Amino acid sequence: MNPQRESAPPASSRAAHPARAWLRGRSEVFVGLLVIGVGAFLGAQTMAMHVPDTSTGPGPQLFPGLVSGLMLVLGALLIVQVAREPAVPPTDADPDAESAGIVGELVEGREARRTATHSDWRTVGLVLGAVVAFTLLLQPLGWLLSGALLFFGVSTAFGGRRSLFEAAVALVYSAVVQLAFVAGLGLNLPSGILGGVL
């Protein structure tokens, strides 16, 4: 599920591949492919679905069939649109243009144009890594430690430099949540290896 990666190399690198050059501003075709993929998956699963034959009238396959067909068409339409009109490089001139939408068109007479964005994959990866680590460690380590680790990971990814201080803030955070939600609201968070201590 990372179709965006193709657009990551900065535009300044030498015009390498013709395919790459075409993809600049058109990385969204992968979204279209993803939609087609999901539509095809839905269609295949719908056809292979085991339907208990007690049901009368339109069964459980009607709606999925409709949605699957819709997704195939929409994915194709999106690819055509993106291929014909790639996103323009970002400009600082009109920062609020994209949020106005159709209303902006109606009221302001201006057209919302998609702008290409450049993504910082390192930060995204660090945040994702922290969440994945949390998911893996929650039950063995318990909320107090894994929650603190998650907080520490995200705040470091967002540019926290003083590791010791960030770690202390993270521990305070997870402890306050533990107190408020487990002791206060009665949530049942795993205590993990600290189970005997708490």
Partner 1 sequence: MDTLVLLGGGFASALTPENLLWAFVGVVLGTAVGVLPGLGSAMAVALLLPVTFKLDPTGAFIMFTAVYYGGLFGDSTTSILMNTPGNSSAIATAIEGHRMALRGKASQALATSAIGAFLGAVVSTAVVAFFSGVIIDIALRFGPAEYFALAVFAFVATSAVVAQSMVRGLIALSLGLAIAMVGIDAQSGAARFTLGVPSLFEGIGIVTVTVGLLALGEVLHVASRIHRERDDAQLVRTGGTLWLKRGDLRRAVPAWLRGLGFGLPFGTIPAGGSEIPTFLAYGTERKLSQLRARRGRRPDEFGKGAIEGVAAPEAAASATAGTAMGALLGLGLPTSATAAIMLAAFQQYGMQPGPLLFERNADLVWALLASLFVGSVMLLILNLPFAPLWAKLLLIPKRYLYAGITGFAVLGVYASSYSVTDLWLLILLGLLGFMMRRYAIPVAPVLIAVILGPLAETELRRGLAIGQGDVGVMFTGPITLGIYAVILLAVGIVVVARMRAARRADAPSDRTTSPTA
Cβ nearer to partner 1, comparing 18 with 95: 95
Q: How far is the CB of 198 from partner 1 (least distance, A)?
A: 17
Least Cβ distance, residue 20 to partner 1 (angstroms): 19
Residues 7-36 that bind partner 1 (CB under 8 A): 28, 31, 34-35
Quick check: 88 binds partner 1 (CB under 8 A)? Answer: no
In one letter, which amino acid is 55?
Answer: S
Q: Residue 120, interface with partner 1 (CB under 8 A)? A: yes
Of residues 139-198, which lie at the interface with partner 1 (CB under 8 A)?
Answer: 139, 143, 147, 150-160, 166, 169-170, 173-174, 177, 181, 185-189
Q: Report the residue number, 22 or 108, with the smaller CB distance to partner 1.
A: 108
Residues 54-73 that bind partner 1 (CB under 8 A): 54-64, 67, 70-71
Interface with partner 1 (CB under 8 A), residue from 121, 162, 163, 193: 121
